Amino acid sequence: MLGAIIGDIAGSRFEWNNHRSKEFDLFGNDDIARDACFRTDDSVMTIAVADAIMKIGTDDEPAFKEELIDSMHKFGRADMDAGYGGHFYRWLLHKEREPYNSFGNGSAMRCAPAGWAAESLEDAIRIGRLTAEVTHNHPEGIKGAECTAAAIYLARTGSSKEEIKLYIENNYYPDAFKKSIAEIRPTYEFNETCQETVPQALVAFIESTDFEDSIKTAVSVGGDSDTLACITGAVAEAFYGIPQDIAEKALQYLEGEELEVTKKFVSRFCCYK
Ligand SMILES: [Mg+2]
């Protein structure tokens, strides 16, 4: 899950100021760039999912969803300026408990813990679905989370990139890999939907050469940079692991309970092979 958070932090300074190149330092190489990076809603909601999984597990599905709603309300309302989309902001603000049929990329950006806590591929898909359903119960919203959680599970249990790619094409996005990043980049625009974010994020992972390169490739696409890099980073972490220096720098952007939950989840679930 730290891979998702790193992608979010690295992409944060480019969300409204796209950088369509892989030439940049992950967190900036000077004080101004470093300070321009911050954790956004992608990290906050990923942490909320991790906390609910650790608190109650996912076996009792209705109970897990209630816990997750509470967790998302708690972490989300602690910082209403983290960058939430309009519908989700209202859902948080009014402490709503019903889903609103969203197919926004929020379901995919927060589901990394599902891929790590799962005990099988089917379990990853099931937990991914549960994490989506509390708000993003539109079929595309569920699909984005299921596919991301499945890719993380496959990556962390030794599947090759070719196997992961085939699995995604056969089960979720048949056309995902028809275009390369170089072909996507020139015309890609800001898009908050799962179906126009998840496939592109997965192409960035497949084309990457290592963890850092995966984040830079995702940012270079443009668009919703922090969320694209968050999804790419979540899968890349499971495939490559995370270099220690990058992990340490990223943790400096978290504090309080968000930091505690992240460290606890990583030490409990995220062991790189
Ligand atoms: Mg964000």
Show the tokens assigned to 29: 């190489």
What distance in angstroms lies between residue 171's CA and the mean position of ligand 1's atoms? 27
What percentage of the chain exceeds 70 in pLDDT?
A: 100
Whether 252 shows a pLDDT value over 80: the answer reads yes
CA of 218 to the centre of ligand 1 (A): 14
Distance 87 CA to ligand 1 centre (A): 14
- Alpha carbon of 224 to ligand 1 centroid (Å): 8
For the domain made up of 2-269, the CATH class stated in words is: mainly alpha
The residue whose two tokens read 């408990």 is 97
**pLDDT confidence bin for 220, thresholds 50/70/90:** very high
Q: What is the sign of the dihedral through the CA atoms of 94, 97, 103 and 107?
A: positive
Answer yes or no: are the C-beta atoms of 242 and 214 closer than 8 Å: no
- 20-73 pLDDT, tens per residue? 999 999 998 777 777 889 999 999 999 999 999 999 999 999 999 999 999 999
Q: How far apart are CA 115 and CA 254, in angstroms?
A: 22
Residue 43: exposure state from Cβ atoms within 10 A (0-12, 13-18, ≥19): buried
Position 31 scores a pLDDT of 78
**Total-model pTM:** 0.97
Specify the pLDDT at position 13: 94
- Distance (Å) from CA 12 to ligand 1 centroid: 7
Measured in Å, residue 140 CA sits from the centre of ligand 1 at 19
